[in-house]
Amino acid sequence: MENAALRGADQASAADSDEAWEGLGDITIWTLGIATAVIGLIALLRRKVLLAFVAVGVIVGGQVITQALKRFILPRPELVEVTGDYAHNSFPSGHTTIAMTVLVAAILVVPYRCRGLAMLIVMTWSVGIGAYSVTAKWHRLSDTIGADFVALIVGSIAALVLLRYGAIQRTEYRPKLRVIYVVLMSIGGFMTLAVALLWDISLECKICAIRSSNGIYTWRQIA
């Protein structure tokens, strides 16, 4: 799966690669600070101080966890001799963590009736940042998935804290448009993954066939 994602990035056009680099380059300390301030301001305008602290804590906490994992806890094993950027650990993706924690914080602070619109806008951007990270070859697929789990963890903790103090309440009502959007995004993600896996299997079969015809390897059926 990892190799399939990397081979997919190899197939990206120069325009797609430039777009990915530009999108990732837009995430800086300044833009992160502005996004965090906007998140906190929305909560304060709703007169929810606890919500503001928790939402900002989601973004800050996500970066603390990600940078700690990347720099101190999960060093890259030295399996072969490498130098430069390849020697540094890239798990989990810092940019994807930023995008996903901003998404979680935005969903927390906006009014319930506006969450569908916030999800439509912010989720599209955050998922795009994860895809850009792979397209630009800044990260492997597992790096972005790890960042998603970091955002999920801090978001879950934030929701539990807010529920504990009565800042949020459970509801059985689910807007149909929001459900449709999530379902379509999930289907699109699974379809993309399936295509990538089929492409990888097809490419491996072709490589084996070529090597077999050249007498380098004997043909073996790939299960």
The distance in angstroms from the start CA to the end CA of the chain is 15
Calculate mean pLDDT across residues 148-173. 86
Full-model pTM: 0.74
pLDDT tens digit sequence for 27-59: 999 999 999 999 999 999 999 999 999 999 999
How high is the pLDDT of residue 218?
43
CA distances from 180 to 54, 125, 161, 177, 187 (A): 28, 18, 28, 5, 10
How high is the pLDDT of residue 191?
78
How high is the pLDDT of residue 188?
73
- Give the contacts of 60 (CB within 8 A, at least 6 positions apart): 36
C-alpha dihedral sign at 204, 206, 207, 213: positive
How high is the pLDDT of residue 183?
76
Residue given tokens 């540094």 in the structure block? 88
Give me 166's structure tokens.
Answer: 């009565």
Which of helix, strand or coil describes residue 92?
A: coil
Please tell me which residue, 114 or 151, carries the higher pLDDT value. 151
